[in-house]
Amino acid sequence: MALTLVLAAIAAFVAAVIQRITGLGFVLVLVGPIVVLYGPVEGVTIAVLLALVAACTAVPFVWKHVEWRRTWWLIWPGLVASPFGVLLVHLLPEAALLLLIAAMAYFALVASHIPALSASLSGRTGAIVAGSAAGFMNAASGLSGPALAAYAVGDKWPQRRFAASVQVIFLAFGIASVVLRGLPTSPAADVGTLVVATIAGIAIGTILSRNVSPRIARAAMLAIAWAGATVVLVRGILAVFV
């Protein structure tokens, strides 16, 4: 159990560092290790809570760059869709949940690189579609970033303002998901340790962001995320047949 906590704390710390440098990727980096360590339900519940902590910690640094009108048109559809993501989690067995989380992680890795998808997500209609998808995915797997990133590309949202605004969106979706999913059932001391690791990662990431290229951080994020998604997929396949 101690080793599980140590590995989870390391994953949370690294995810928080990458989140602070790039503005995205916290759950994308964390979801693979945390689901393998704690299972699909408890793992995602922990990831959602830690993502909320990361957003709370990051928002003060980016507040003045938030674009509130665009942010609102992404937030409210996501809040409407969130309960359906939680309902899906309650309906699916563990093996199906593992496969769903792996599928969402893979989608997260390619969504912003699909030109047709990004091109279709622009304006108010695109914001409603992207916001709904993000809210649903956040409640189900913690992975709200892909749809938001695809919308940012399609709507030509300047990177600096998007990276700031998305922290507020993560905050709103995180609150909704924690309310709907509930708190983790793991010991409070363990969850507290992971929260501290997350806050420490944000602090170190703030320092490193002055010297570490976002391109390097993004490369690390992608490598970890692809590996994590693949491990979750393999575990899901094994759960189906074993």
pLDDT for residue 117: 66
pLDDT for residue 24: 73
Q: For residue 92, is pLDDT > 80? A: yes
Residues contacting 110, CB < 8 A, separation 6+? none
Query: Tens of pLDDT along 103-149?
Result: 887 877 776 667 766 667 778 888 898 899 889 988 888 888 777 87
Residue with more model confidence, 6 or 159: 6
Q: For residue 159, is pLDDT > 90? A: no
pLDDT for residue 1: 61
Query: Tens of pLDDT along 205-217?
Result: 888 877 777 777 6
pLDDT for residue 221: 67
Instruction: Please state, in angstroms and as integers, the Cα–Cα distance from residue 80 to each residue in 141, 172, 180, following that order.
Output: 16, 12, 12
Q: What is the mean pLDDT of residues 86-108?
A: 84
pLDDT for residue 81: 94
Residue with more model confidence, 197 or 215: 197
| Residue 15: both structure tokens together | 């995810």
**Cα 43 from Cα 69, distance rounded (Å):** 33
Q: What is the mean pLDDT of residues 54-70?
A: 87
